[in-house]
Structures are given as C-alpha cells and as structure tokens.
C-alpha cells in the first residue's frame, strides 16, 4: 500500500520563499509528508549551511544569494529542477543511515532519467570528472552517493535533520550554469527539456521505487505565513555572512 504524500509545485518562486517554505514544512511536526518541486526567480546561488562566504568565489558573480538550512556545497539554481522531501525521520524513506536514504532517492531519480536515455549511476568510489577544487560548489565535489553520468555529477543533494524530522534538498541539472562549469546536464540527452516536463517523470519513478502516492496540494495559509517569517532570515546579510 503506497504512502500518500502531498505534492506542492511552485515554479519561479523567490529565493526567500523557497527556503522559508522548506523550513516551515520541516518544523511543522504535524505537517503531512510533502514533496516540493520548485525553481527560482531570479537565478540564485545557495550556500550550504556551514559554508564560509569567502570559500565560494561564485558569490561575487551570482545575482541573488541565500544560505540553505541544509549542508553541503553551494549550488547555482539556474536551468534546474529543485525538489525537497520533508517528512518524519521514521518515514521509510529515511530509516537507517543517511547514506541509505540518499541511495533510495537517487535510485528512483536514476530510473526517471533512464526514460530520457540518461544512464545515471552512483559515483561510489573515486572522483567525478566534474570535480574542481576551490570553488565551493556542490557540483564540483562528488561524493559516493552522488548520481553521475558521463563521469560527471548531475544531481546534488543535502539533508537537514532536526526535531525528529528530515528535509532532503535535491537539485537536478537541466542545463549549464556559468558558475558550475563542465557538469552533467539532462539537455545533453534531451534538448529543450524543462522542469515542467521532468516533474511527471520523477513522480512516476517516486511512485514506483519509493512506494509513494501523491495528492496535489498547496501550502496552507499558516505555512505560507510561516514561510514568509522564516524566509527573511535566508537573505539577511548577517545570516548570509555568518561564516
């Protein structure tokens, strides 16, 4: 029997709202498990929670910058589909080691990408061909659980675990970014692919491989209000430059 999750889709949302809503969904203990698909307007660079501003030279060239609540490296959110899973830590998606939960999500994504003719695999051992030292960018630092094709990283992920709940951020690259160099993108195999066309393929894969069902929903008024409150922090200079 599949578990029913809420699906919220917000294309082209402002950076503060995107981060604020994810935190609102993470902190609300009685929130239904929720999958978000979203994109960013304007294009935004997000720093990992612990990253030092000075360690990410791309901040000087990015227009908008936020700091995520999740860890990992910086991501330039352009030409991509961003997603988040927020649910209780005892959801079957998250039980066991952190690495195991990554593998579940990434295997499902790999299945969706296979339908586009992209043969994505877990990096496992060794370095990715897209690794670049000194940029602080997530896509320039492969880890064993990362999805790669053509030897290059094409999906970035990070998690936050707090109060018995988990937020899993993911970024799937459709096209290139001037800040991320020679990474793997889906348009190499599927020219013209956009986030709206990729989303249903991901849903099918999540249904099949994660045993999920989805009910299309929207944030509640309370969640929207909380997202606005929380979102302000993500673009506040004192938070952005806290490290």
Partner 1 sequence: MRPNDRHYLPSHEWIKITGDTALIGITDFAVDELSSGNEGDLVYCDLPEVGRTLEDGETFGEIESVKAVADLNTPLAGEVVEINPAIEDHLEILSEDPWDRGWLIKIKLATKDTSKLLDAEGYEALLASQN
Q: Please identify, using beta-carbon distances, which residue of 158 and 193 lies nearer to partner 1.
A: 158
Active-site position among 24, 93, 128, 138: 138
Q: Which stretch binds partner 1 (CB under 8 A): 27-35, 68-76, 126-134, 174-182?
A: 68-76
**Minimum distance from residue 22 beta carbon to partner 1 (Å):** 13
Phi-psi category of 8—alpha, beta or left, where left has phi over 0 and alpha has psi -120 to 50?
beta
Count the Cβ atoms, other than its own, within 10 Å of residue 14: 17
Contacts to partner 1 from residues 159-198, by CB under 8 A = 159-164
With binding defined as CB under 8 A, does residue 69 bind partner 1? yes
Q: Please identify, using beta-carbon distances, which residue of 95 and 213 lies nearer to partner 1.
A: 95
**Minimum distance from residue 71 beta carbon to partner 1 (Å):** 4
Q: Which helix (H) or strand (E) holds 52?
A: none
Distances (CA, A) of 202 to 35, 72, 172, 198: 11, 23, 11, 6
Interface pick for partner 1 out of 4, 90, 119, 126 (rule CB under 8 A)? 90
The answer to whether 159 touches 74, Cβ cutoff 8 Å, is no
CA torsion through residues 166, 172, 177, 183, sign: positive
Q: How many Å apart are CA 68 and CA 49, to the nearest integer?
A: 5
Q: Please identify, using beta-carbon distances, which residue of 90 and 225 lies nearer to partner 1.
A: 90
Q: Is 103 a catalytic residue?
A: no
Contacts to partner 1 from residues 18-47, by CB under 8 A = none
Decide: helix, strand or coil at residue 7: strand
Q: How many Å apart are CA 63 and CA 183, to the nearest integer?
A: 21
Q: Which stretch binds partner 1 (CB under 8 A): 33-41, 59-67, 88-96, 115-123?
A: 88-96
Interface pick for partner 1 out of 59, 145, 171, 177 (rule CB under 8 A)? 145
Q: How many Å apart are CA 150 and CA 40, to the nearest integer?
A: 27
With binding defined as CB under 8 A, does residue 97 bind partner 1? yes
Interface pick for partner 1 out of 20, 72, 136, 231 (rule CB under 8 A)? 72
Say which residues have a Cβ less than 8 Å from residue 181's Cβ, sequence separation at least 6: 130, 132, 135, 140
With binding defined as CB under 8 A, does residue 92 bind partner 1? no
Q: Please identify, using beta-carbon distances, which residue of 162 and 220 lies nearer to partner 1.
A: 162
User: What are the start-end ranges of the H helices in the chain?
Assistant: 15-27, 98-114, 195-210, 221-234, 237-240
**Minimum distance from residue 25 beta carbon to partner 1 (Å):** 16
**Minimum distance from residue 120 beta carbon to partner 1 (Å):** 18
Catalytic residues: 138
């Amino acid at each position: 029997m599949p578990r029913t999750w809420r699906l919220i889709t917000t294309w082209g949302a402002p950076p503060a709202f995107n981060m604020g809503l994810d935190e609102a969904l993470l902190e609300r203990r009685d929130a239904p498990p929720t999958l978000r698909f979203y994109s960013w307007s304007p294009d935004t660079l997000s720093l990992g929670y612990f990253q030092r501003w000075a360690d990410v030279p791309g901040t000087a060239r990015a227009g908008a910058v936020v700091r995520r609540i999740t860890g990992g490296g910086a991501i330039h959110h352009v030409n991509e589909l961003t997603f988040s899973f927020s649910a209780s830590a005892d959801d079957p998606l998250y039980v066991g080691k952190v690495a195991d939960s990554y593998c579940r999500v990434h295997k499902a994504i790999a299945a969706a990408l296979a339908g586009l003719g992209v043969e994505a695999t877990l990096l496992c051992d060794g370095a990715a061909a897209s690794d670049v030292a000194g940029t602080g960018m997530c896509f320039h630092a492969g880890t064993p659980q990362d999805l790669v094709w053509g030897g290059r990283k094409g999906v970035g992920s990070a998690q936050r675990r707090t109060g018995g709940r988990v937020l899993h951020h993911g970024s799937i690259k459709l096209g290139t970014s001037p800040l991320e160099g020679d990474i793997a993108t889906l348009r190499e195999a599927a020219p013209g692919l956009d986030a709206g066309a990729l989303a249903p393929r991901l849903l099918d894969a999540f249904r099949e491989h994660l045993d999920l069902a989805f009910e299309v929903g929207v944030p509640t008024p309370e969640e929207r209000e909380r997202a606005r409150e929380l979102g302000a922090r993500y673009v506040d200079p004192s938070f952005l430059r806290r490290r």
